Amino acid sequence: MPEIREVIARSPATIGLGKVANEAEEDSDHAHNDALVYHDLFKKFGNWNICYLPKHYSNHSAYIEQFQVRDDDVWVVSFIKAGTTWTQEMAWMIGNDMDFENAKTILPVRFPYFEFDASWDENGNDTTTKPAKGKRNMTSMEIVHHMPSTRYIKTHLPFNLLPQQIQTRERSPKILYVARNPKDVCVSFYHHKVLTEAYDKSIDEFVDEFVDDVSQSNYAPYWTHVKEFWKRRHQSNILFITFEDMKRDLRSVVEKVSQFMGKTLSESDMEKLLSHLSFESMKSNPYVNYDEITDKLTRVHGTERKTHFMRKGKVGSWKEELSLQSIQKMDAWISKNRIPGLWDDVL
């Protein structure tokens, strides 16, 4: 597994959002040939539900499709900015019997981002950072392949781009899917882009992009990403949780995740874990807060740090930031797509 400085030097895709100018010459079997967006940076992938990813994903799609999954894997899956890091740390701590000592290793090493190398330009043509001197001998997917069990794996891929062994249920790893309401995802995603990409448009302009599935670019569209796991939430190897439930009653979610993972926590361990997972603790924890990575990115962009990877950790922060016009746009978009029974008390 690479050192953190190698990770940050190579691409902001480490945290999910690198825009890449690579133009792959050939389409993969997954790709639809007819639609490219963002000046050929992104294209459609997927044989049924569509997902927008950088074009060079084509170079890795076959390996990802045929990736060898293990039944004892633990996968955390989410759309961007949905509570992924929080869920990763919870799952890793529970699965590793509250090993606080080994938790003093950065999260991307303990719980790697599976398709990391499908989200950066292997030819060094990234538009936002220069490639590091020298390269790893293995891709992020190959690194995960060679990890000893139990493997803890993070991905933002939608269901239909996950390895075939998961889709066909040939293998049944434990999958934790964490979802967050789209208004808070949108606001968090906006600040994430400001921090990691020096995004310089207004939040209202970003709302226009977010409700346009094409303009969302990475991993869009939002709704199908969530719906594909929502309809599988009763599958025995999938646990669907929400950011909102974690904020409302973290203890109950920890209990649910522990049961799902076949673990039992003592009351003492529960109290320690709840403290460890508090927003204040997570934000100040250098092993999970990505401050070193985002510091590097602000220096690369020559911009002033205006926020942090872990910013507010609130439910409903959109009410403090979105204009009435943007709220109305999002409400119209949500009304066409909303999932009955999900976020009825939030949206």
Lowest mean pLDDT across 30-34, 253-257, 267-271, 274-278 = 30-34
In this structure, is residue 342 part of a structural domain? no
Contact assessment for residue 91 and residue 107, using Cβ atoms and an 8 Å cutoff = no
Whether 213 has a pLDDT exceeding 60, the answer reads yes
In this structure, is residue 61 part of a structural domain? no
Over residues 230-250, the pLDDT tens digits come to 999 999 999 999 999 999 999
Distance CA 290, CA 128 (A): 18
CB count in 10 Å sphere of residue 109? 14
Residue 199 or residue 126, greater confidence = 199
Lowest mean pLDDT across 31-40, 146-155, 200-209 = 31-40
Tell me the pLDDT band of 200, cut-offs 50, 70 and 90.
confident
Find out whether the peptide bond into 173 is cis, omega within 30 degrees of 0. no
Q: How far lies 307's CA from each of 13, 193, 196, 295, in Å?
A: 18, 11, 10, 10
pTM score, whole prediction: 0.81
- Among the listed residues 30, 156, 191, 192, the single catalytic one is 156
In this structure, is residue 10 part of a structural domain? yes
In this structure, is residue 224 part of a structural domain? yes
Lowest mean pLDDT across 13-22, 96-105, 217-226 = 13-22
For residues 7, 290, 295, 20, the Cα torsion angle rounded to the nearest 10 degrees is 50
What is the CATH classification number for the domain harbouring 121?
3.40.50.300
Say which residues have a Cβ less than 8 Å from residue 172's Cβ, sequence separation at least 6.
Answer: 71, 236, 237
pLDDT at 12: 32
Query: What value does the mean pLDDT take over residues 268-293?
Result: 86
In this structure, is residue 8 part of a structural domain? yes
The question of whether 32 is a catalytic residue gets the answer no
Nearest C-alpha neighbor of 203 from the set 283, 120, 306: 306
pLDDT at 6: 46
Element (H, E) at 178: strand 174-179
DSSP characters for 113-135?
A: BTTGGGSS-TTS-BSSSPPPSS-
Domain range spanning residue 300?
Answer: 4-19+68-337
pLDDT at 172: 98
Number of domains comprising the chain: 1
Question: Letter for the amino acid at 339?
Answer: I
Question: Letter for the amino acid at 291?
Answer: D
Whether 289 has a pLDDT exceeding 80, the answer reads no
Nearest C-alpha neighbor of 243 from the set 76, 83, 80, 79: 83
